Homo-oligomer: A and B are copies of this chain.
């Protein structure tokens, strides 16, 4: 009987120990990761060009020495900083009911090719979603798909992390761009 109670005690200690053990997330994992959540949205960017102030959702607010704030600069727009507040829709129709806003900036950052750096948020306040998803990363626009990081979130997306795959779904001249974002979240709280 004494042995058995000792054993029982050990068992309890083992239980207590296991629930208190810290863990290394820093270990290289070889398995294929499955997202805990996948979302697909479209957002619609209309850059102000001097003639479309009513419809414009974005504006040039920084430019290199050889540029201005009404027309995207030459050298692949290198140095243009654009602020945006774009409607987010569930399908690819600009006129669909927006379920949120994509808000932030991009900055063209290469002379030889179109490429940009993005910092922005998806801001939701609808019946479907409340909260924000925050993004940052390089956007090499000429690639069919580009991966950027989901660096955090709030509300329904509290503390989330993941990867968003962007693709240019459509564009018209240098004024209208439609982006498709497939968001794969790998940390859901």
Which residues in A have some Cβ–Cβ distance to B below 8 Å?
1, 3-4, 7-8, 10-11, 14-15, 17-19, 21-29, 31, 33-37, 48, 50, 59-65, 68-70, 78-81, 83-85, 101, 103-105, 107-111, 115, 117, 119-121, 123, 131-132, 134, 136-138, 140, 147-155, 158-159, 161-163, 185-189
Contacts and interface: CB of A to CB of B under 8 A. Distances in A.
A189 B64 contact: no
A158 B163 contact: yes
Given A23-B21, A25-B25, A85-B111, A149 B163 contact: no
B162 A161 contact: no
A154 B158 contact: no
Contacts of A150: 152
A46 to B, nearest CB: 12
Contacts of A188: 25-29
Given A10-B11, A69-B65, A136 B134 contact: yes
A59 B83 contact: no
Contacts of A151: 134, 136, 149, 151-152
Given A33-B158, A65-B60, A136-B136, A18 B22 contact: no
Given A15-B17, A26-B34, 17 more contacts: A1-B3, A4-B4, A22-B31, A23-B24, A28-B37, A29-B189, A48-B65, A61-B63, A64-B83, A84-B109, A103-B109, A105-B109, A119-B119, A136-B151, A136-B152, A137-B152, A147-B155
Contacts of A65: 48, 50, 59-60, 68-70
